[in-house]
Structure 1
Amino acid sequence: MTSSTPLRIGVMGAHSTGKSLLMRRIEMELHGQGIPVARTGNLGRRAALVPLPKMQHHTLASTTWVIATGIADEIAAWARLEKGPVQVVLADRACWDALAYFRAALEWRQQTAPRAEREALHQLAHAHGRTYDLLLATVLDPDVPVESKHDYDPRYRTLVDRHTHDFLREENIRHVRVTSDPASQELAIEHALQLCMTEAPA
């Protein structure tokens, strides 16, 4: 592994709100600045291959898998040295994200989870999530159309958005809100670049 821990930038938010696009743009900008970067992602697709429940059908097991796998991916991203040390890791779905999806799934199904299970998930995410150097949280814009190939339940998508921002507020987690406004997205990218150019380990 590298001698210095890389910067970690995570993103969370409802599906099809621009999370992956935002991470790809930041990745391209960092490459352009000559900053070695690694990006994680595709957790939803990989969970479906296991297979595990997704979206409004999320369970304790699927949520645990998403959190643990995401953490493992981030660690592996900066431990790979075949192309040289990585200075920045971009987590496309920060570990907190799975908690919002799980909470939204429970509300969508009108169910509750035992307190011990909820606390176990929170502790798993907290141990890793508290060390993000920058956390971006996308905001759902209901007026932005979703591609027809995505058969999303609109009510669940709205619940994920609400639980995402409720959770961040309840836990007092520092983050940058990113709306569908291009100016908001550009500002978030600039924020990430400034952080990486001044704080990334040499």
Structure 2
Amino acid sequence: MTATSTTAPIRIGVMGAHSTGKTLLLQRIEMTLRGYGIPVNRTGQLGKRAALVPLPKMQHHTVASTEWVLAQGIADEIAAAARPGPEPIQVVLADRAAWDALAYWHAAQEWRQETPHRHDRERLLVLAATQAPKYHLLLATALDPDIPVDSRHAYDTRYRTLVDQHTHRLLAAEGIEHHRVTSDPDSQARAVDRAVKLCLKEAVV
């Protein structure tokens, strides 16, 4: 998923099932870039903010909630790039790239054993696809069922597995270029290194 332009800001997105290290991965990238003096901004907490609207989430996602997450994510990335400061933002880290919302919605549909209307499916797909050229790098985390989830999170195990399956199924079906990140520390380190090297190469330091 190579961006059509190398002008700032560089956009790096992450997607994948919940509690698979998405936010931590972006935090590591952000800290490393800041260490190089590169102005960076990170988006996030879309799920929590959707619940405050309030909109259904997780296995209860609807067309409306998915469209909100997509639209709000797009707006957040634009705002992150435009944040005022002594220096222009050179890198935007998107915690939950546009395709992520689509994977969560498809997983919710399967969890509820529902068939989405063709028009809804096509409309949401087009909305997500409009964002594809904006990402210079897309990271996709992979679920490791052997890693326990914090007991404070009452996640539905089946739904979490479905999100992981639909994430990677969607990426493959749409031919979306991405970097797969597993729970292995070396895999995570390689993802951080790839992101940082990209930014060091493209950003005006």
Same structural fold, with TM-score higher than 0.5 when normalized by the shorter chain: yes
CA distance in 1, matches of 2:70, 2:204: 26
**Counterparts of 1:43-192 in structure 2 under 5 Å?**
43-192=46-195
Q: Would the aligned equivalents of 1:7 and 1:201 in 2 still touch at CA under 8 Å? A: no
Q: What SS class does the counterpart of residue 89 from structure 1 fall into? A: strand
Maintained 8 Å contact 1:94/1:129 = no
Separation of aligned partners in 1, 2:110 and 2:86: 44
8 Å CA contact 1:17–1:140 kept in 2: the answer is yes
Q: Secondary structure at the match of 1:130?
A: helix
The more displaced of 112-121 and 132-141 is: 112-121
Native 8 Å contact 2:8 2:203 kept in 1:
no
Normalising by structure 2, we get a TM-score of 0.95
Q: Percent identity?
A: 66
Unaligned runs of 5+ in 2: 1-6
Q: Distance in 1 between matches of 2:115 and 2:35?
A: 47
C-alpha displacement of 1:101: 0.2
**Matching of residue 32 in structure 1 with residue 35 in structure 2:** yes
The alignment covers a number of residue pairs equal to 199
Tell me by how many angstroms 1:60 deviates.
0.2
**What amino acid does structure 1 have at the position aligned with 2:115?**
T
Amino acid at match of 1:80: R
Aligned-pair distance for 1:83? 3.9
**Cα distance in structure 2, aligned partners of 1:147 and 1:130:** 35
1:47: Cα distance to partner?
0.4
* Cα distance between partner residues in 2 of 1:118 and 1:201: 39
> Superposition pairs for residues 5-44 of structure 1, below 5 Å?
5-44=8-47
Using the TM superposition, give the Cα deviation of residue 22 of structure 1 relative to its aligned residue in structure 2, in angstroms: 0.2
Instruction: Give the CA RMSD over aligned residues.
Output: 0.9
TM-score, normalised on structure 1?
Answer: 0.96
- The residue number in structure 2 matching 1:198 is 201
